[in-house]
Structure 1
C-alpha cells in the first residue's frame, strides 16, 4: 500500500452550504518527521456549481495556517493544503468584500504559493516554484471551499471520529487494520461531557465499568470482567497506583481491551487505559476554562502552546488545573493543583526531542462508601460517611518523561524513551470489617501509611517498513525496563466501632500512635518484544510476535513498634518469573469500509505484586485470549464501529483485603462475551456514541467456583448524542444527551449480595457565539438528571461499596484565542 491514511470527517450545516473536511495522517513516502498531510475534498450540493457570492471578510495579519482557518470560518469554503507549505509563513491583513477565490489568492500572494485545480471539483495549494505555466497571468479559480491545517487533536475539533490509535501496536496504525479492539475517546467528547477524571471518559467504552475507587481517590476499572489493578498508562508509560488523574493535559483516552496489552509488560488481561497527552504545537493557542458546579465545585483550566523561537524548532505547551470540590458525601472534598509543561525540540528534520514534566498536589479523603445489609447495599442516605472526618489524604506526584526520536529514512525510525515517577503520600483511613446486621454496629480498623514510591521506566524500539518478494512488512522490535521501589511506614490498629444508622464520630487521634507495620517492596522487569505486520494483496494483514519478560518481585514485612523499614528490607521474600507471551492476529479487509479480524494472545499479569498476610508473594496471573470480530467505516469514514466476541481466561486471580495491603488468591476465572462500539458522525451536525456489552464472567476454580465475578454487569450499554443546530440564527448552539445503563452485578466473590441495575441520564447545552477573533463557549451539563441511586464498584467484600453521584450541574465559561 503506498499510503497509510487516517480519515477524519466532520460536518456542520450552514444556510445553504455544507463543510466536509478529510484529513489524512503522515504518508508512507514522506519523511516521518513531517507534519500531517491534509487533503480536503471539495464538494457542494450534488457537486453542482460553487458559489460566486461576495462576502464580508475581516482577517488580521497572522500565521498563514491560522488565516486560512479564519477564512474558512468567515466564508464557509474549503481547499486542500499541505501543512508543511504554510508552516512559518505569515499572511497579510485582509478586509473587504471578496469572493472566496479572490480571498485565498490574496492570502497566498507573495508567499511562494499558488492554488491550482487538481481534478474536477478539487483544488490544492502548491509551491509556485515547483509549477510552470505558459502564462504569467495569475491563476483564476472558481469559488472554492477553504480549510486550514486541522490536526485531529487540534483545539476545538468537534469530531467524535478517530481512525488511528497507537496503543494497540506502539505505532500509529489505522484501526481498520489493527487486529484488536481499541476504542478512542477524543477531546471533543471530554469537552462535551466536561470530564474531570478517567472514569468520566471510559464510561463511553463498552465492557468497561468502575472498579473500587476509594471515593474517587484512585481510578480502577473492570475491563472485560477483570480489574485493571489500579494501574493506568500515560503516553504508554505505566503509572503505578492509578491515583486521581487530572485530564487537564489529556488529548484523548485510548482503551485497549484484552490480553493484547502484552506489549506493555505485566498488565491485567482485561485491558488497559492509556492517556495520550496534548503535544506542543507550532501555531499559538491560548485557552482559559472556568467551571462552577454543584456542591461547591470550582475548577480553573489553562492551556497555552506555540513556538518559542522564530524558526519554529522549539515548541512549548503548558497545562494548568486548580480544582476545589466538595462532595455530596459527608466530609468529602478534593483540592488539587496540577501543572504540566512540555517542550519539543526539532533538532533536525529527522530528529526530535520531547521533554514532559507533571506535578500534582492533592488533598482529599478516602471514602470506602457504605456496607451491604442482607443481599443488597444498605438503605442509607447517599451522604452517609462511615470513616472518620479527621482522616485526610495528602499526595504529591512528580513525573518527568523524555523521548528522542530519529528517522533514518522514510521507512525506518528509532525511539528511546525514559520516565521517572515519584510519589509521596500520607493516607489515613478508618474502614469497616465486620457488621452486626441486627444492631447496625460496624467494627472498624485504622490504617495510616506514609509511603514513598520511585518508578523508573525506559524503552528503546525500532520500527520499519520493507518489502520481500512483494510482501509488505511493518516491524517493531524493542526492549523495556520497569522498576518500582517503595517503602511504607504505617500504623495498623483497631478503631472505635460506628453505628451505620446513627453514626457518632470518634475524637480519638490515632495518628500519634507509633508506627507498627513496615513494608518494603520492589517490582521490576526487563522485557524484549517483537512484532511484524505483513500485508498481502492490500487486503490481508497478518500480525505475529510476542514478548519475553524476566520479572522480579520482592516483598518484606516487619511488625511491631520496635521494627523499621530496614527490618522489612532484611525480611524480603523474592520471587522471580520468566515467561514468553505470544501474540498473533489477522485482518481481512475485503472492502475499504469493512474488515474482519481475530487474535490469539497470552499475557503475564502483574499479580505477583500481591502478597498474602505472611508476606508470601502470590503466583503470577496468566491470561489467555481468543478474539474475533469485524469493523466498519461508514458514511465516507465518518462513522466507525467495532463488534467483538472474545473468550478470556485468567489464572491465579487475587483479591485485596479491605483496609490492608494483603491479598488472597481465588483460583481461575473466565470472561466471555460480545462488545459493540459505534462512534462518529451520523448526519450533518449529529454526532453519536453507542455501546453495548454482554459479559459472562465466572469463577472456574477455588472456593467460589461457579459464582459470577464481582463488579461485572452481565449487560451494559450507553448512548450519547450531540446535535449542532445548523440554522444560521442559532449557529453555535449545541445540545447533547445520553443514558448509561448497567445490569445488576454481584458485590463480592461469594455473591452474598447484589448491586441493583441502574441507569444514569446526562444532558448538555452549549452556545459558542462569535466574539471578535476568539472562541467563546458557554456550557451547562447535567448529570444523573433522574437523581437515581447509583453505585460504583466494591473492593470485593461487604464493607466497601462506592456511591455514585446524585443529580449534579456543572457550568463553564471557555475562552480561546
Structure 2
C-alpha cells in the first residue's frame, strides 16, 4: 500500500512538472500608425476564453497558455480589426503590433452607410466634425437610431426625441424644449437650431415631415457654437440621412392604424456596378392619415435618393436629396373656456374651419466630398441647399369675444383669418482639413476650416390678415371700446346683441364647423417676419485640436463668426445689422478604466439679434444673446460595449433673450431678459443587455429660471420655471426577441414615458396667470413576429388612454396629446 501511494505521488509530481514545461506565455504592446500606444483594446485568443485589455501604455500579457496554434484577434473602436495566426511553443512570446485607424475617421459628413442594426451607435460626426467615439467627446451627445424608430413606430421628430433625456415637446409643431431652452428653427428664423447631415438648415416648423429616410437623429447637448456658430444653448438636433451600402438590401413596409392612418415606405440600397464604386439608396414614403383632432389630416410624399461614388480608398463623394410634399391643415391647438380649466372642452376641439389648408413643399440637397491627401491629412467639404414653399389659409383663435359692456364671453373664441404665401431658401457650405500628427507621446487630430451660411426670404412672400371688429363705416378696428359702441356693428348671440367680429367667432359650446364666406372678410397686409424680404449671411473660421496622451484626451477649439442681416433688402430703406462673436471651447476626457470615461467641458454660444428685432417699435436695438455651458459627467460602456450609459450635470446661462412685453398698445414691443438659466442632471442608457434584450432609459432633472428683465418688472420673471420645461421627466423602453425554441421569431416591446409638473405660457403680465400643466405617464407596447423575410408588427401607444397635454401657451392655444393609438405594420426584406 505504501509503495502504491509513493508511486502515485511520484507520478503526479512528474505529470505536473511536464505539464508546467508545456505551458507558455505571450506579452505584447499595441501602437497606432503614429507610434502612440493604443489603450483599452480588447485582445482575444481563440480557441479558448482568453481575453485581455491593453493597459495605459498599450501593453497586454497572457500567462499559463498551452502550446499550440491560436488566432489572436484585436478590436479597438476606431481601428481596423487585427487578426493573426500564431503558434505558441515552449518559449515565451513577445510581440509589437500596429493597429491602423479606420479610413472613415477623418470623414466629415458621413458618406459610408451604417451596416449595424442595433440601438447603440458608437461614432459621432457632429460632436467634433470628424468621426469620433462618442465616449471620447467631452460633451453629452445622445442619438436615436433607425432601428429604435422602427421598433417604436416613431415617424416624426416629436416621437423620436422622447428617447433623449431633457427634451420635451413644446407644441404640435417641429418645436421642442432642450434643457429648458426652446429649440425652433422654422421659416423666418435667423438662426436655425437644426442640422442636416452636420450642416445648418431650417424646417417648415408648422408640420413635421416623415423621417423614413433617416439613419439616426443626434442631439448635441449645450451650445455647440464652436463648431456650428449661433445655436440654441440647450442643444442642437442633427438629422443624419441613410447612406448607400455596398451590399444589397431591400425593404418594403406597409402600415395601417386608427384615425384612417395608412403609410407605405420603401428602402432599396446596394452597388450600382460590379466594382462597387457607385452605390445607391432610395427611400420613398407615402402617408394618408386623419387625426383625433377635428378637421386635421396629413397627406405626405417623401422621395429621398442618395448616391455614393467611391473611385478608390482615398476619395468618397456623396449626393443626398430629400423632397417632401405635404397637404394638411394648420392646427393651432385646443381652445378652452376663458379660464384655466383644461377639461372644459374636448381635446379634439379645433377652431380652424373647413376652408383652411396648408400646402408645403421642402427639398434638401446635400453634396459632400472626403479626400485623403496623404495618409494623415484629409480634405472635407460639404454643401447643403434647403428650399421651402408654403401656401396657407387658416382660422385661429386670438382671444375671446366680448359683450356690449366689454366683458369677456368665455365660450366664444374670437378668430383671425390669415392667407399666406411664403418661400425661404438657405445655403450652407463647409470646407476644412483634418490632420493627424504626434509631438512626442501626444497625438493630435487637428481640424481647421471655413463655414458659410445664408438664409433668404425672397421678394414675393406675403400675408393678409382679417381680424378685429366691424365698424359701421365699413372698416375694422383691433379692439372694442364700449364708450364708442355706436360706431360698431352688432349681431345677436344667445339672446343678446354683441359687437360683430370681422371673422365669425367660434362657439366653443356648440363646437360646429362650417364652410365660410372668406371673400366677405376685410383684409390688411401683415408684414410678419416670415414674409418681409430678408437676407442674412454668416462667415466663420475655426480651428480645433483633439490631443491624446495615454488616458487623457483634451479638446481645444476656437471659432470666429461674422453675422450680417438685411431686412427688406430689396428696398431703398434696407435695415442692416452686423454682429461678431469669438467662441472658445475647452473639454477634457480621462479614461478611468476600459469601461468608464470622465469628462468636463466649457463652451460658449451666441445668437445674433437680426434686423427684424432691432426696430424702435420692438424697443431695440438689442444686444446679441450670449451663453455658456459648464458640464461634467461619466460615459460608460458595459456588456462587451453593447450597452452605453451617460450621466451628466450641467449649468447653462444665456443673457439677452427677447420675450414679448405683452403691451396691448404695442404688440411688437419686446423685453430683454437679464439671465436665462438652466441647471440639471441627466442620465441616458442605450444598447443591449443581452444580444436579444434591448433597452433605452432616460431621466432628467431641470431647474430652468428667468432672472430679471430690462424694461419690465423683475418680479414677473424671477423664480418662475420656464414654460414647457418640466422639472422631472424620464422614460424607459425595452424589447426582447426570442431567438430559439417554440417562440422563435416572437418579440415584445414596452415602455413608460413620464412628464412632471410644468406650466404653459409665460405671459410677462401680472394679470395673467400661467396655466399649470398636469403631470402624465404614458404606457406603450409592441409585438413583433418575424417569419424568414417577413416582419409583422403591432404598436399600441397610450395604452391606458390617458388624457394629457404636451404643450401650450394660453387658454386659446393648448396642445393635447393623442389618446390611445394603434399601428399595424408588415415589412418584407429581400
TM range (shorter): 0.7 to 0.9
Q: Does 1:119 align with 2:72?
A: yes
* CA drift at 1:758: 0.9
Query: In the TM superposition, what is the alpha-carbon distance from 1:517 to its structure 2 partner?
Result: 2.9
Aligned counterpart, 1:391: 356
Contact 1:618 1:665 in 2 (8 A): no
Between stretches 376-385 and 168-177, larger displacement belongs to 376-385
Name the structure 2 match of 1:439.
410
Once the 2 structures are TM-superposed, how far is the Cα of residue 410 of structure 1 from its aligned partner? 2.6
Does structure 1 conserve the Cα–Cα contact (< 8 Å) formed by 2:199 and 2:428?
yes
CA distance in 1 between partners of 2:245 and 2:43 (Å): 21
Deviates further, 257-266 or 182-191 = 257-266
Alpha-carbon distance in 2 for matches of 1:346, 1:812: 35
Tell me the residue number matched to 1:509. 518
Q: Which ranges in structure 2 are unaligned for 5 or more consecutive residues?
A: 1-30, 35-40, 52-68, 88-109, 186-191, 402-407, 468-502, 764-768
Structure 1 residue corresponding to 2:238, chosen from 274, 282, 288: 274
Are residues 766 and 497 of structure 1, via their aligned partners in 2, closer, same or farther at CA, if it must alter by over 3 Å?
same
Correspondent of 1:755 among 755, 765, 773: 773
1:499 aligned partner = 507
- Note the 1:647-666 alignment, pairs <5 A: 647-655=651-659, 664-666=670-672
Q: Which residue of 2 is the match for residue 547 of structure 1?
A: 559
Q: 3-state DSSP class of the match of 2:704? A: strand
**CA gap 1:289/1:665 in 2 versus in 1, 3 angstroms:** farther
Per-residue Cα deviation, 1:665-715 (whole angstroms, up to 9, x for no partner): 451311101001111112342111111000000110124321210010000
Tell me, yes or no, if the aligned pair for 2:466 and 2:523 is still in contact at 8 Å.
no
- Deviations 1:738-775 (CA, angstroms, capped at 9, x unpaired): 011001211111452111101111111001112xxxx2
**SS of match in other structure, 1:501:** coil
Partner of 1:461: 432
Change (3 A) 1:663 1:307: farther
- Report the Cα offset of residue 227 of structure 1: 0.9
Matching residue of 1:220? 175
Per the normalisation by structure 2, the TM-score is: 0.76
Q: Provide the C-alpha distance between the structure 2 equivalents of 1:609 and 1:388, rounded to a whole number of angstroms.
A: 35
Match of 2:488 in 1: none
Distance 2:295 2:518 in 1: 17
Identify if the C-alpha distance between structure 1 residues 588 and 663 changes in structure 2 by more than 3 Å, giving closer, same or farther: farther
2 CA distance for matches of 1:648 and 1:663? Answer: 27
Q: How many matched pairs?
A: 676
1:732 aligns with 2:745: yes
Query: Using a 3 Å threshold, how does the CA distance of structure 1 residues 287 and 661 change in structure 2: closer, same or farther?
Result: farther
Deviation digits for residues 94-147 of structure 1, max 9, x if unmatched? xxxxxxxxxxxxxxxxxxxxxx9523999xx9999x9999xxxxxxxxxxxxxx
- Whether the 8 Å contact between 1:611 and 1:663 is mirrored in structure 2 is no
What is the distance in 1 between the residues matched to 2:203 and 2:463?
A: 17
1 CA distance for matches of 2:795 and 2:537?
43
CA shift, 1:47, in A, is 8.0
Q: 1:499 offset after TM fit, Å?
A: 2.3
Question: Would the alpha carbon gap of residues 406 and 652 (structure 1) be closer, same or farther in structure 2, given more than 3 Å must change?
Answer: same
Aligned partners of 1:131, 1:573: CA distance in 2, in Å?
71
Partner of 1:561: none
Is 1:582 matched with 2:584? yes
Query: Secondary structure of 2:736's partner?
Result: strand
Runs of at least 5 residues in structure 1 that lack an aligned partner in the other structure: 1-26, 31-37, 49-115, 134-150, 557-564
Q: 1:645 to 1:131 in 2, by over 3 A?
A: closer
Q: How far off its partner does 1:447 sit?
A: 2.2
Matching residue of 1:239: 201
2:149 equivalent to 1:173: no
Q: Which residue of structure 2 lines up, in the alignment, with residue 91 of structure 1?
A: none
CA distance in structure 1 between the partners assigned to 2:164 and 2:235 by the alignment: 12
Of 309, 315, 320 in structure 1, the residue corresponding to residue 273 of structure 2 is 309
Q: Which residue of 1 aligns with 2:729?
A: 716
Aligned 8 A contact 1:261 1:271 in 2: no
For residue 416 of structure 1, the aligned residue among 356, 381, 391 is 381
Q: 1:780 aligns with which of 789, 794, 799?
A: 794
- What displacement does 1:503 show? 3.0
| Closer, same or farther: CA 202–126 of 1 in aligned 2, 3 Å | closer
**CA distance in 2: counterparts of 1:370 and 1:670, whole angstroms:** 30
Whether 1:253 aligns to 2:217 is yes
Quick one: distance in 1 between partners of 2:447 and 2:113? 28
The structural deviation recorded for 1:378 is: 4.7
Q: Which has the larger radius of gyration?
A: 2
| TM-score after normalising by structure 1 | 0.78
Superimposed CA distance per residue, residues 350-385 of structure 1 (whole angstroms, 9 cap, x where no aligned partner): 112111112111111111112355335353112111
SS, match of residue 189 in structure 1: helix
In 2, the alpha carbon distance for the partners of 1:508 and 1:41 equals 77
**Displacement, 1:548?**
1.0
Q: Does 1:205 align with 2:205?
A: no
- C-alpha distance in 2 between matches for 1:513 and 1:119: 81
Root mean square deviation, CA, Å = 3.2
The answer to whether the 8 Å contact 1:671/1:698 transfers is yes
SS of the counterpart of 2:138?
coil
Equivalent position of 1:109 in the other structure:
none
Q: 1:441 to 1:359 in 2, by over 3 A?
A: same
> Separation in 1 of the partners of 2:86 and 2:46?
27
Structure 2 CA distance, aligned partners of 1:449 and 1:571?
24
Structure 1 counterpart of 2:456: 485
3-state SS of paired residue (2:725):
coil
